[in-house]
Amino acid sequence: MITPLTNATVLVTGATGFIGGRLAERLVVEHGARVRALVRNFGRAARLARYPIELVPGDLRAAESIDRAAAGCQYVFHCAYGSDGEDDARRVVNAQGTRHVLEAALKHRATRVVHTSTVTVYGDTPDGPLDERAPRRRTGFAYADSKIDAEEAALAYVDRGLSVAVVQPTVVYGPFGNTFTTKPLQMLKSGRVIVINGGSGLANLVYVDDVVSAMIVAAVHEAAHGERFLVSGPAPATWREFYTAYEAMLGRPSTISMTPEEARRFYKTAGAPHSTLAAQIIAALRHPAVKRRLAATREGQLAIRAFHRLPAGLRARIGGPGVALRGAANPAASDGDARPIHPLHPSKIAFMAAKTHVRIDKAQRLLGFTPQFDFERGMHVTGAWAEWANLL
């Protein structure tokens, strides 16, 4: 199939990641584009190496490396974001790194830049419909706030003569995904996952291929110039339906309902520092294989008994996520299930409680975008991949 991207030289940042990786694949396979991938860590580039993709070393924080990568590119897809280090470091990558990409694209006269943003720039959204006219709200959450800065920077370049389109995906899931695919499966396998108010909030889900399709059309459609586009699936599901689909893949129920207040209280008690050495040791002690080995020795039995003699609150604080508390500290956990419960970060509690319906009317009207994966189809493909990836 010949498209405007056929034989075009295209730069993809974040190509070793979830969305960028799928985008790079489809640009090569479906459009015959000459894809150039900016790669910071070549250890993560194995997925790209299957295709005739030019792997270029670079870092969003190093303007000169971005400049070299963008030279001769007609289209730039900016998918990379700061995922490592402390909040300040991630802000630099998201905001300053985006400016480096835009500056290079402007210098080398790219036809268009497609900037990948997120629905979280709208902050804690109210119930009801949400579209691009809603205000951006800062919440103190580093990722979302820095994405607002990046969006503003991207669209400011339109006045400087650079054609930019912004795509704002909602909850993206699918093969090779982490936050809403691999991680939920791992958490459901290792313990219990909190759903707010029984999971009645709306999950505006979008399968990864629909996001990629929207990005590709935003790169070539004249109407995308200078615009923002929310991208979501055909209709929202509930968080209950979302986690039920993963539970069905695993063959067992592994969620627990809490109110927002219970989830916040539980996080304060059980969600204390979870990256400490002590937390890692306690996590190891909980592993069934480790328990069996410890129980086989007198020293191991003594260690297990010593841990269980600690006060419940202290066990939670040194154990980090996955610590099940009983009684007043967590009244919702008094249902007789002894499996550990993963605390839910406060930034996600309001997100999961909201009954916001993200509207994609603008993308449909201006770009002709129509999502091809409803929830059932998307989860079917995701389940097949999860089985292949040995996640089940």
Range in 110-114, 208-212, 323-327 the model is least confident about: 323-327
Res 337: pLDDT: 73
**DSSP per-residue letters across 263-319:** HHHHHHHH-S--SSHHHHHHHHHHSHHHHHHHHTSHHHHHHHHHHHHS-HHHHHHHH
Res 332: pLDDT: 44
What whole-number distance in Å separates Cα of residue 71 and Cα of residue 50?
24
Res 25: pLDDT: 97
**pLDDT tens digits, one per residue of 194-215:** 999 999 999 999 999 999 999 9
**pLDDT tens digits, one per residue of 217-234:** 999 999 999 999 999 999
Report CA-CA distances (Å) from 274 to 126, 217, 309, 338, 348. Answer: 31, 42, 21, 20, 17
What whole-number distance in Å separates Cα of residue 116 and Cα of residue 230?
10
Residue % of the chain over a pLDDT of 90: 72
Cα pseudo-dihedral 242, 325, 306, 285, rounded to 10: 10
Res 316: pLDDT: 47
Residue 113 φ then ψ, to 5° = -110, 130
Please state, as a whole number, how many other Cβ atoms lie within 10 Å of the Cβ of residue 136.
Answer: 17
What whole-number distance in Å separates Cα of residue 183 and Cα of residue 249?
14
Helix and strand totals (H; E) in the chain: 16, 16
Confidence of residue 328 (pLDDT cuts 50, 70, 90): very low
Is residue 250 a contact partner of residue 185, using CB atoms and an 8 Å limit?
A: yes
Range in 120-129, 184-193, 299-308, 368-377 the model is least confident about: 299-308
Average pLDDT of the chain? 87
Instruction: Output the CATH code of domain 9-177+204-237+356-374.
Output: 3.40.50.720
What is the end-to-end Cα distance of the chain in Å, rounded? 37
| Section 310-322 average pLDDT | 48
Tell whether the model's pLDDT for residue 341 goes beyond 70.
Answer: yes
Res 275: pLDDT: 41
Res 144: pLDDT: 85
**pLDDT tens digits, one per residue of 261-314:** 999 999 998 765 444 444 445 555 555 556 666 677 777 777 667 766 665 544
What whole-number distance in Å separates Cα of residue 99 and Cα of residue 91?
12
Tell whether the model's pLDDT for residue 321 goes beyond 90.
Answer: no
What whole-number distance in Å separates Cα of residue 253 and Cα of residue 247?
6
Q: Higher-confidence residue: 112 or 271?
A: 112
**What is the residue whose two structure tokens read 């009317």?**
361
The answer for residues whose C-beta is within 8 angstroms of residue 308's C-beta and 6 or more apart is: 315
**What is the residue whose two structure tokens read 């070539």?**
220
Tell whether the model's pLDDT for residue 149 goes beyond 80.
Answer: yes
Please state, as a whole number, how many other Cβ atoms lie within 10 Å of the Cβ of residue 191.
Answer: 19
Amino acid at 296: A
Res 139: pLDDT: 87
Res 324: pLDDT: 42
Strands (E), the chain: 9-13, 34-39, 54-57, 75-78, 112-116, 128-130, 164-169, 171-173, 192-196, 202-203, 205-207, 228-231, 237-238, 255-258, 341-342, 356-358
| Section 8-26 average pLDDT | 97
Confidence of residue 326 (pLDDT cuts 50, 70, 90): very low
Range in 60-69, 167-176, 337-346 the model is least confident about: 337-346
